[in-house]
């Protein structure tokens, strides 16, 4: 399964990527260019996950918010790539 994450650039550079990913590139872009872009800028990531690496799928609240959040096991992250960088925000 291909998932996306909008991450803070400093966290990405420090190999400290979060566990919450989404199937929606637009949702990940919103986080990468907004909340997660504070101070150092943001980055939009894409990765592939095998079913056994997904701890949980979107719950009702996540679906209600339109985030479609998946929680993944970071030790099995593969095919990680950068899709886009975002400038820092305040």
Q: Is 60 exposed, middle or buried (0-12, 13-18, 19+ CB in 10 A)?
A: exposed
What the chain holds in terms of domains, given with CATH numbers, is 2-86 (3.20.170)
Local confidence band at 58 (pLDDT 50, 70, 90 cut-offs): very high
Tokens of 17: 């990527």
pLDDT tens digits for 4-16? 999 999 999 999 9
pTM, whole model, 2 decimals?
0.92
């Amino acid at each position: 399964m291909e998932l996306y994450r909008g991450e803070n650039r400093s966290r990405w550079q420090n190999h400290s990527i979060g566990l919450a990913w989404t199937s929606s590139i637009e949702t990940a872009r919103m986080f990468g260019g907004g909340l997660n872009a504070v101070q150092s800028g943001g980055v939009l990531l894409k990765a592939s996950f095998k079913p056994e690496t997904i701890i949980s799928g979107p719950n009702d609240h996540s679906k209600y918010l339109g985030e479609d959040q998946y929680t993944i096991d970071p030790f099995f992250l593969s095919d990680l790539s950068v899709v886009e960088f975002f400038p820092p925000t305040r």
